[in-house]
């Protein structure tokens, strides 16, 4: 149950990210969503507000949602780690591992048909270290009845304009697939 999950995480100290966080960012959105988005971990804005993807990267993602006609409230959005890694570094393996049970519970509760993996950290921690984002993005991967769509992390779009079109096309595929499921 969501209440159990919320309770279990509220004072979590399973990894050292607990020492520097301001807020735990569990996730938000439709708890009955067909589509779940998984990012890397909270940044400064997310840590301050306790909400996922509310900073620059999140605003860019919102723009893509708006352009495609995807209602942000209709999907569920979360991250691999629920506490901000200092200076936005990539979460260490043991941090991701410590936090992954919460995500597994979220997936069990939401039961999404499609999971969008935002960037390398999400891809590698969910599907395995052997997967690379450059080779995999834009291609469906089915595992245990869930369809995965790896794509660029929205922060990567801020650094490289050319990735925006890929991101758009990948989300377009997700939208089309969802309509036909």
84 binds, among ligand URA, ligand SF4, none (CB under 5 to 8 A by kind): none
CB 113 within 8 A of CB 32: no
| Sign for the pseudo-dihedral over CA of 124, 129, 134, 136 | negative
User: Per-residue contact track with ligand SF4, 17 to 46, x per CB under 6 A?
Assistant: xx-----x----------------------
Q: Residue 79 or 151: which CB sits closer to ligand URA?
A: 79
Which residues inside 149-168 make contact with ligand SF4, applying CB under 6 A?
A: none
DSSP class of 129: T
Residue 147 or 155 with smaller CB distance to ligand URA: 155
Rule CB under 6 A: say whether 122 interacts with ligand SF4: no
Pairwise CA distance, residues 95 & 92, whole Å: 5
Q: What torsion do the CA atoms of 72, 81, 38, 155 make, to the nearest 10 degrees?
A: 80
**Residue 27 makes contact with ligand URA by CB under 6 A:** no
């Amino acid at each position: 149950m969501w209440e159990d999950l919320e309770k279990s995480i509220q004072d979590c100290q399973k990894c050292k990210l607990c020492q520097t966080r301001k807020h735990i960012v569990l996730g938000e959105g439709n708890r009955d969503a067909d589509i779940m988005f998984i990012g890397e971990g909270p940044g400064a804005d997310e840590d301050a507000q306790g909400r996922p993807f509310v900073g620059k990267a999140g605003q860019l993602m919102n723009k893509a949602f708006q352009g495609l006609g995807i209602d942000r409230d209709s999907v569920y959005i979360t991250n691999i780690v629920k506490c901000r890694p200092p200076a936005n570094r990539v979460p260490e393996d043991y941090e991701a591992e410590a936090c992954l049970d919460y995500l597994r519970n979220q997936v069990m509760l939401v039961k999404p048909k499609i999971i969008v993996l935002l960037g390398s950290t999400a891809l590698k921690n969910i599907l395995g270290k052997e997967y690379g984002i450059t080779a995999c993005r834009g291609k469906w991967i089915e595992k245990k009845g869930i369809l995965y769509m790896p794509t660029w992390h929205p922060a990567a779009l801020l650094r490289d304009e050319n990735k925006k079109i890929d991101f758009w096309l990948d989300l377009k595929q997700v939208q089309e697939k969802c309509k036909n499921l």
